[in-house]
Amino acid sequence: EAGVAQSPRYKIIEKRQSVAFWCNPISGHATLYWYQQILGQGPKLLIQFQNNGVVDDSQLPKDRFSAERLKGVDSTLKIQPAKLEDSAVYLCASSFPGALGSEAFFGQGTRLTVV
């Protein structure tokens, strides 16, 4: 079974530039999450999708972050404009549809450095 795919693996940008990350979840997983992991901390939820609908985006800084999941499969997370404090690893995860307390499978993440 293929895992959660993310790209790119690494990205370096200057502050105020824009950047986009892509995620392809495990086939059949209707729930998709984006987490932000700052160095030395645990992952922090940014947004959760169920199919192509947003379930929870309460922690997403909506003035600069946006995410979409068209057709309920792939997802894109965008930052515009980036700030220095956005430097982190952005993790995408997916899980089986509608199951509370089910295992979330994580991708390898995209490491973003904002200079």
User: Nearest-CA neighbor of 32 among 11, 12, 49?
Assistant: 49
Residue type, 74: D
The Cα–Cα gap between 95 and 80 comes to 28
Q: Of the two residues 22 and 105, which places its CB atom closer to other proteins in the complex?
A: 105
Q: How far is the CB of 65 from other proteins (least distance, A)?
A: 16
Q: What part of residues 86-115 is at the interface with other proteins (CB under 8 A)?
A: 91, 93, 100-101, 103-109
Count CA within 13 A, CB hemisphere, residue 56. 10
Per-residue contact string for residues 22-51; x = within reach of other proteins by CB under 8 A: -----------x------xxxxxx--x---
Least separation in angstroms between CB 103 and other proteins: 5
Torsion angle of the four alpha carbons 57, 59, 62, 68, in this order, in degrees rounded to the nearest 10 = -40
Contacts with other proteins by CB under 8 A lie at 4, 33, 40-45, 48, 55-56, 91, 93, 100-101, 103-109
